[in-house]
Structure 1
Amino acid sequence: MMEPAHAPGRDRLSALPDNVLRRIMSFLNARQSVQTCVLSRRWRHLWRSLPRINADYTEFCFACLDEKKEKVQEARFKKFVSTLLLRRDPVPLLDKFWFRYQVSDGNNNEKASAEAGLWISHALQLQTPVVEVLTFQFPLMLDHAVFTSDYLRKLGLSNAYLRMGFFEQLSRGCPQLEDVFLNDCIILDDEISSTTLKTLNIYASRFSEDYRASISTPSLTSLTLYKPDASVPSLKDMKSLVSASIILDDNTDIHELLMSLSGVRNLDLECPQKMVTIAKNTQWCPEFKDLVNLSLGQFCLGSKLYALTEFLKNSPKLEKLTLDPPVVIIDKLEERSFECEHLKIVEVICSEDDSTLLKLVEDIFVTCGMSSLQINRKSSYKQYYSDDFFRFDYDSTTAQEHAE
């Protein structure tokens, strides 16, 4: 006989305890979680004590072409978030505060940014360890004084204008901060300094042209610097660094850069070809005595494989090499060869149809003593952005329907 709890049509969700329901609801967007209040008397106030808040502007207005309607929807979103935070039960602490925002009027940027700052401040008062903010159109101009919390551990910002003193405030005001993610930001600080940061990811962000910024983070174990604009910051005091991903479009001193990274175990590097060409007659490549995994882009496969051979000669413990050339341009190896006694596998990122590239790489490494079985094709691409942060899985069609 079928147990009542498993009978067809039974509401199993309502049989769960409140704390489990709150945890499930916390993965919904905030507007959806509030709408559950109409389900029954029991659900009426569950939204007020959720451990996470995900407030998404696109639930109110997505790809709106009517400027007047867009401003109305913006006002609705602001009122919703402010009311949500004010009516939330202050006793349960907040695990995460995430919101996606739009600043469509540059003339009203300061006011819109101030409102967002109040939301962040409120969340920090609830001792949230995670704050993540995405902004459309004009950058969010946050007053960095709001970042004062003994509990904040992770901060993510996309499209934000970070004034001079921002990182100093983070260092002083957030003594537990360990993880910072910045995307498409304007960074005016001349120094990014922290003794607590362990993970720093900076994507497609613009630094000042008037001076060269520096990054000094002695506790940092993971660094990503993806296509910085205007200038490339110098790296200082990286003694704890284990993994680094450096993708550059602009020139910088390659010797200085690599010296700062010479202690890492995992390195992903892409830079302009001329950086290596200019440095060819100098001792530009230091010894990477602990390097185990190395990924190199197009720059290493030109100039008779000069850069590639220099890396291999100076990486005595290398076990895995990944080559990621965007096009098939591979020079012939010069008479000199290289030896990597610990090298176990070479991966080539290319499509299934690109047998020419794979064959060229095989010829290089088989000549130097490796077996063709150790050389593999890898079709997957590198993903530098976090799905969890940007919430790429969000259904924009549904968002537009909500807005209408």
Structure 2
Amino acid sequence: MPPGAPVEMISRGKRRRSYDRLSDLPDCLLHVILSGLDSRRAAQTSLLSRRWRHLWRDLPCVNIDEREFADETWERFADLVDKILASISPDTQIDAFRLHLLRGNFTASGRWIHQGLRHAPTTIDIRAASDTTVIWRQSMPVSRSAKFTSRLTTLHLVHVKIIEGFTKDLGHYCPVLEELHMESCRMYINVVASPTLRSLAVISPSTYGTGAGPLMLMAPRLASIRLEIPYDRWRYYYHADAVAFDPQPLPLLADASIRLTGLYKHHPDRPLWQALKLDFVKSVCSFIAFLPNVANLHLSGFTVEESLQEEFLEFPVLHNLKTLLMEECGVGASFLVLTSILRSTPNLEKLGLHQCIDD
């Protein structure tokens, strides 16, 4: 400001510099901005001014992340979460409910999940440090449960204990669900049944199968599937028939990723695990045969011993497969297995081999 500038000009300049243009934005835009914060920081914006006092209560997203409360005791953290959830307007419908816990117990997490469901979110993302912290249950009557999940299209669960029977009645409990992601969850699963499900991921379950039968996928609209399943019985207790697939036609499935994991190579009774894996590979090949329109296929962990090479000679014919990625797979002596697969995929356009071996 030049020397001798009028006082009025200086005052105007200060007013321009201090003018709060952000608060002039409509509530809908401020809600979008606040949705990028965790719920604790969003609530703290109520101290900025009267304009901001109640904005956070009507946010379209609830994001509770214990990592943001690292300096708090569990009791203090639990008290703050209770207050945050109780402060949300009762009639508010939210787009997303996210809960990330490092500590805790089934009682506290169950209470918070129930409060979140009351706002009928379209997305639920629950992550825990272990499967002894959070339990996903649908113990209430289906009619009442469906009211809370009537808008739920996306469900992500990581390190969560899932009550048996939930995936079997998925279509009833979550009538419009399109995406289900279950990672490192403690669960018993034989049937996944949903008329609306389009994307399914089952990754490293800590308990898989009940021994009562194979995995059945009753999801006619399923377009994408990702399976990362251990087949050995050293860490997890399995029955051979419980890790098989009951072939169900999935005409819309275009993207599939199947990863086999196991620790049998370090077990003294290695032949037993080799036989179990052979049964698993047979069931996987049978499952792939019921994906007539799969266009992109990712196979991982299909190592090949002498006994497995014959199974891949019967690799299902996939006329619509365009892209095949094989990772940590055996391609057979003199590429025998790979040659068989290529014969069964006449319209293949892209082939990727990553850390594959020629047994």
TM-score calculated relative to the size of structure 1: 0.70
1:121-168: CA deviations, max 9, x gaps? 332222211111001133422322365322111111111112221113
Q: How many residues align?
A: 310
Q: What letter is aligned with 1:321?
A: L
2:106 is matched with 113
Alpha-carbon deviation of 1:222?
0.4
1:161-218 Cα distance to aligned partner (Å, 9 max, x none):
1222111343212111111011101221322222221100111113136344333322
Q: Is the 8 A contact 2:138 2:173 kept in 1?
A: no
CA gap of 1:169–1:286, structure 2 versus 1, over 3 A, is closer
The code of the aligned residue for 2:93 comes to L
| Residue of 243, 266, 270 corresponding to 2:255 | 243
Equivalent residue for 1:28? Answer: 37
Q: Give CA-to-partner distance per residue, 1:33-63, whole Å, 9 cap, x none.
A: 111111111111111010001100111127x
Indicate if the aligned counterparts of 1:55 and 1:99 stay in contact, CA closer than 8 A. yes
Structure 1 unaligned blocks of 5 or more: 63-71, 105-111, 332-404
Name the amino acid aligned to 1:182. Answer: M
Q: TM (normalized to structure 2)?
A: 0.78
Q: Distance in 2 between matches of 1:36 and 1:282?
A: 60
Between 281-290 and 31-40, the greater mean CA deviation after superposition: 281-290
Kindly provide the CA deviation profile for residues 255-277 of structure 1, in whole angstroms up to 9, marking residues without a partner as x.
32332334311101113323784
1:308 positional shift: 1.6
Partner residue of 2:125?
A: 132
> Offset of 1:15 from its aligned partner?
2.9
Q: Distance in 1 between matches of 2:38 and 2:346?
A: 50
| DSSP 3-state at the match of 1:186 | coil
- What SS does structure 2 have at the residue aligned with 1:131? strand
Specify the alignment match of 1:48 in structure 2.
57
Hey, what does 1:15 align to over in structure 2? 24
TM-superposed deviation, 1:16: 1.7
**Counterpart AA for 1:44:** R
| Secondary structure in 1 matching 2:33 | helix
Matches within 5 A, 1:2-401: 10-61=19-70, 73-103=73-103, 112-137=105-130, 138-145=132-139, 148=146, 149-206=149-206, 207-208=208-209, 210-211=211-212, 212-228=214-230, 230=236, 232-234=243-245, 236-237=247-248, 238-250=250-262, 251=277, 252=280, 253=282, 254-274=284-304, 277-280=307-310, 283-325=313-355, 329-330=357-358
- Write the letter of the residue equivalent to 1:195: P
Aligned partners of 2:295, 2:306: CA distance in 1, in Å? Answer: 22
Per-residue deviation, 1:241 = 0.9
Structure 1 residues 20 and 244, CA, compared in 2 at 3 Å: closer, same or farther? Answer: same
Q: Which amino acid letter does the alignment assign opposite residue 112 of structure 2?
A: W
Could you tell me which runs of 5 or more consecutive residues in structure 2 were left unpaired when the two chains were aligned.
Answer: 1-12, 263-276
